[in-house]
Amino acid sequence: MFSRFVVPTIVLAASTFSLPSRAQNAPRTPFPAPDPGAVPVDQNREKHIDGWYKEVPAPPKDQKAAPAPRHDLSGIWEPAAGWRDGVQFMGAKEYPSDGKHILPFTPLGEKAFKANKPGFGTTEVPIALNNDPFDICDPIGFPRIELFNLRALQIVQTEKQVLIFYQNDRTFRSIWMDGRKFPPEDISEPRWYGYSIGKWEDDTTFVIQTVGLDERTWIDNVGRPHSSNLRVEERFHRVSHDILELTLTIIDPAMYIKPWIALDKFPLRLQPADFDLREMLCSPSEQAEFDKQVSRPAIADTKKK
């Protein structure tokens, strides 16, 4: 048995990553933090496994793409480039909060954005000081469920609906395609996931409009705000049998002077029919335990200053 001791090692100064718009004065550390260790970790190669611990074979590289079926999105889908491609921890994929991708905020939108205190991006704060509703395990809501940790999802079609089941938050949305209109304009009961209607634009493109979204939700993981009049357009385009592209547009004149594209032809790949969706939930009691044991102690001295 080896003795237990603390090995003096390394300090990493990350102040070069600081951004001028950052809300806090503390040095900004990139995520993930750099790991200068030269230790090989080849024993731990990553595998693509489903929720049933079954390894999913890689798609054949030379296989000719089969054509997309007509009016059919059904199946289990994952980000085509691997699950990391849908994480978007720095905000919507086309607009990461890096000081370079500037959103067309209205003055109200800019004010609302600055009032939000996320755990990532140019306005990040320590987790114990943030006001991210998802950090207390409120429902992630829509469209954030597609703009943060977009993992596996299952699409089921019925005669009148398209149902989307998400791994993240283990929840679902109903998209009505029976020709109905939205509820009256003054929606008295906003929803975390809104009210969605969809229609086939052509043989392989399904377009969804969603309104009636609860203002408490954030658009993405870095606190992009929205009003009660947010409208989200999703375009699911099945470009081949195995590939489905998602384009998601934010339309909210109260917060943004023009629509902006949060996902642009984001590719999803069809998974085997027996692929099991993993459970991925935020547990309020477990999050509280984490805050108590890690996030608050991590800034305890800072708060006293």
Partner 1 sequence: MKNSLGVSSLVMIGLLAVSAPLFAHHGNASYGNAKQLTVKGTVTEWVWLNPHTLLKMDVKDDEGKVVNWVVEWSAPSSLINFGINKQTFKPGDEVTVVMITPDNGAPVGRIQRVMLANGKWLRG
- Interaction with partner 1 in 59-98: which residues (CB under 8 A)? 83-84, 87, 89
Per-residue binding letters, 7-26, with partner 1 (x by CB under 8 A) = xxxxxxxxx--------x-x
**Cβ(256)–Cβ(106) below 8 Å:** yes
- Looking at the Cβ atoms of 161 and 295, the one nearer to partner 1 is 295
How far apart are CB 72 and partner 1 at their closest, in Å?
28
Q: Does 286 bind partner 1 (CB under 8 A)?
A: yes
How far apart are CB 166 and partner 1 at their closest, in Å?
12
- Looking at the Cβ atoms of 56 and 254, the one nearer to partner 1 is 56
Stretch that binds partner 1, among 28-36, 191-199, 200-208, 224-232 (CB under 8 A): 28-36
Which of 70, 110, 27, 81 has its CA nearest to residue 267? Answer: 81
**Cβ(299)–Cβ(111) below 8 Å:** no
Binding positions for partner 1, 226-285, rule CB under 8 A: 278-283
What is the C-alpha separation between 116 and 126, in angstroms, rounded? Answer: 13
Q: Does 154 bind partner 1 (CB under 8 A)?
A: no
Distance (Å) of CA 291 to CA 33, 45, 135, 284, 288: 20, 31, 10, 10, 5
Question: How far from the centroid of its chain's Cα atoms is residue 147's Cα?
Answer: 3
How far apart are CB 207 and partner 1 at their closest, in Å?
30
Beta-carbon contacts of 51 under 8 Å, excluding residues fewer than 6 positions away, are 167, 276, 277, 278, 279
Which residue in the set 68, 93, 105, 130 belongs to the binding site for partner 1 (CB under 8 A)?
130
How far apart are CB 141 and partner 1 at their closest, in Å?
15
List the structure tokens of 269. Answer: 């790949």
**Cβ(90)–Cβ(261) below 8 Å:** no
Stretch that binds partner 1, among 65-73, 240-248, 249-257, 295-303 (CB under 8 A): 295-303
Q: Does 29 bind partner 1 (CB under 8 A)?
A: yes
Place of tokens 């998400």: 166
How far apart are CB 291 and partner 1 at their closest, in Å?
10
**Cβ(108)–Cβ(255) below 8 Å:** yes
How far apart are CB 302 and partner 1 at their closest, in Å?
6
Which of 249, 211, 213, 254 has its CA nearest to residue 109? Answer: 254
How far apart are CB 286 and partner 1 at their closest, in Å?
4
Count of beta carbons in the 10 Å neighbourhood of residue 191: 18
Which of 230, 261, 224 has its CA nearest to residue 246? Answer: 261
How many residues bind partner 1 (CB under 8 A)? The answer is 77
- Looking at the Cβ atoms of 10 and 273, the one nearer to partner 1 is 10
Binding positions for partner 1, 38-57, rule CB under 8 A: 38-41, 43-44, 46-49, 53
